[in-house]
Amino acid sequence: MPIDIRQEAAKYYDAGRVPFEDIGFYRKQIPHPLAHILELGCGTGRVLLPLVGHCGYIHGLDCSEAMLEICQAKLAQADVAAEHARVELADITDFNLSQQFDLIIAPFRVLQNLATDVEVEGLFRAIRRHLAPGGTAILNVFHPNRDRNQLLVDAIQPMKYEYEIPLETGSLRRYCQVRRVTAIPLVQYIDLIYRYYLQGQLIEESIMSIAMRCYYPAEFLALIEQQGFNVIGKWGGYAGEVYGEGGELVIAFMEGE
């Protein structure tokens, strides 16, 4: 397993902001109360924990040991039995659990962290291997707010302040900086910078460096169809926005005939 790039920032992740409410959406996608769910990139359990009581079993995978430690602590605190939920360290582009799932999800743009075609192909192979007959998979990416050329021109910018959140002691500020961008494929390499302040003094800075591969609406749709899957639903956000018109691109698909 490669170096855990989220180790330093993991303890601040849950204090961060998610720019949309997606948990209710994923609950509605659960096909029945006994469904088995696989979450790819489960992290600290932001989505996994709220789904536990709405399915028969949920299995989470993540490449960050630090994130999973937090998730496991939450499961223990909630007294969730192992037969209802389990998380483990794994590469979501290359794994074999020897079981299949009724629903496979990868919330909050997990797909975009895969910068190379090899990684993307590996993810789809793994989804196909683990999707039960008649099962559904859901992937999402953000909808770029600029065209490709403008995004490349505007790519490298000074560090940008995003938000500040009060903690039990002190406060947390997050900044974002695009370090570089590649054109083919279109990938932004981003630093998410967490700064912890106590009484106005900077105490600690943690940086999480990630890749964010960009997809436009037609491109994202074609990616899934070219993998041989049938698209059964698409949205522009988690409140039912029209695909291509909202800030997110969300696609549900199943195995093709």
Predicted pLDDT of residue 90: 97
- Specify the pTM: 0.96
Predicted pLDDT of residue 208: 93
Same domain, yes or no: 103 and 133: yes
Same domain, yes or no: 73 and 21: yes
Same domain, yes or no: 123 and 103: yes
Residue 2, domain member (yes or no): no
Of 93, 104, 81, the C-alpha closest to 29 is 104
The runs of H, that is alpha helices, within the chain are 10-13, 23-29, 48-51, 65-77, 117-130, 148-153, 217-226
Predicted pLDDT of residue 151: 87
Residue 91, domain member (yes or no): yes
| Residue keyed to tokens 């979501």 | 92
Residue 250, domain member (yes or no): yes
Same domain, yes or no: 113 and 235: yes
Predicted pLDDT of residue 5: 62
Q: Which domain holds residue 193?
A: 148-213
Same domain, yes or no: 177 and 68: no
Same domain, yes or no: 108 and 129: yes
Predicted pLDDT of residue 125: 98
Same domain, yes or no: 62 and 90: yes
How many separate domains does the chain show? 2
Chunked into runs of 10 residues, the chain (257 residues) has average pLDDT values of 73 91 98 98 98 98 96 98 97 97 98 98 98 98 93 82 95 94 94 95 95 98 97 98 98 91
